[in-house]
Amino acid sequence: MSRSRFKPETQMYWIRVALGALIGALHAFFWRPPLSIITSFSTVVSIYLLTYYFFRKIYEGKLEDEKASWKEGVGSFFLAWLFSWFLLYNTLFPSA
């Protein structure tokens, strides 16, 4: 079995950043003003919780800090989502 050169914490961080940016891009393409921002935020929180359970299962016993699967990349995940959503939405659909 090959060993990754990156620590599990680093992998979790960058996967969450990429996933946050991808979800932000999807929200930019498919979100329209009648939809609630609360709906979008709760969708993102749900996806973050899914990544938590996924990483907790995958890296069970391999993390230096047991809370790392919860807190690693949380801020970057939400900032990547918010930044990519706002940037792409305002670029694609500028107000008149």
Domain positions in the chain are 8-92
52: Cβ–Cβ under 8 A, 6 or more apart, which residues?
69, 70
Instruction: Encode pLDDT of 22-55 as tens digits.
Output: 999 999 888 877 777 888 899 999 999 999 999 9
Q: What percent of the chain has pLDDT over 90?
A: 53
DSSP 6: S
69 vs 90: CA distance, rounded Å: 33
Least Cα distance to 46 among 17, 23, 26 occurs for 23
Q: How many residues does the chain have?
A: 96
> What pTM did the predictor assign?
0.85
Place of tokens 């996924």: 54
Would the pLDDT of 12 be above 50?
Answer: yes
SS3 96: coil
Q: What is the pLDDT of residues 82-93, one digit of tens each?
A: 999 999 999 998
